[in-house]
Amino acid sequence: MLLLPALLAAPPVVAQEAIVPIEQEPRHVMKFQNRHVRFFDVQLPPGYQAVWHTHLHAGVFVNIEPSETTAQDLGAAPVARPPRIIGETYFIDYTAKPKAHRVSNSGSAPYRVTDTEIHMACGGFKPMPDGEGQTLIVENDRVRVTRLMIGPGESIPLHPSCGMLVAVTEGQIRLRTAGPEESLAMAPADFKWRDSFLPLVLVNVGQTVLHAVDIVVK
């Protein structure tokens, strides 16, 4: 937070344009928050240019719909970016290095990405072996992120503790715990937060392969 004044000391070229917190950028829609995370669904239609906004917290980004984009950091020249791969997932530590920027959708297709901001550790993380169909993407002192590819009728145990499950493709799932089971219909960019330390098994009860990303907060 001590770096925020430096971010807001905009050069003359943008001095007359507002720089807002991420939750005030119109297309960065916050759909969930608690003391551990905030979840943003970012949808930029073709031709849309985001307003200048800040990123102050580390986050895990999952790409849902690809398009050409142009990104511009405050005080720097715009940079053209090719479309990302659907499901591409990455961690950016904006807590250590805050940033103000804006992104434009310069392509002809919608651009959509989710951002799970990490605000507070959960504690009590205990590693367990990944199940079949689960691949490690990112692991650091803040999060453990895996990709899930689960066929119809298959099941996989999810890591306990705090977790955000993000759907990349649509699917029908059932969550089995020691308590009542929960059934969910998930569309791309849908999410499910869990904060129980009890064992949890995800079952694909749909007819297609489920592609999802599981973000566990340590």
102 lies in the same domain as 141:
no
Total number of domains constituting the chain? 2
CA terminus-to-terminus distance, the chain? 22
112 lies in the same domain as 21:
yes
Domain that holds residue 177: 134-217
Write down the pTM of the prediction.
Answer: 0.91
154 lies in the same domain as 54:
no
66 lies in the same domain as 145:
no
Cβ-in-10-Å burial (0-12, 13-18, 19+) of 166 comes to: buried
- Residue pLDDT, tens place only, 158-201: 987 899 999 999 999 999 988 789 999 999 999 999 987 788 99
21 lies in the same domain as 49:
yes
Q: Take residue 55 and report the two structure tokens written for it.
A: 């990123």
86 lies in the same domain as 144:
no
Last residue of a domain, one of 91, 118, 145: 118
Closest CA to 64 of 176, 170, 215, 204: 170
Q: Take residue 173 and report the two structure tokens written for it.
A: 């799932």
Asked, for residue 86, whether it belongs to a domain, the answer is: yes
Low-confidence ranges of the chain (pLDDT < 70): 1-16
Asked, for residue 182, whether it belongs to a domain, the answer is: yes
CA distances 141 to 57, 91, 122, 185, 196, Å, are 14, 12, 12, 32, 20
Closest CA to 47 of 3, 99, 110, 132: 110
DSSP one-letter string for 112-150: EEEEEEE-S--------PPPTTEEEEEESSSEEEEEEEE
Q: Residue 16's pLDDT is what?
A: 62
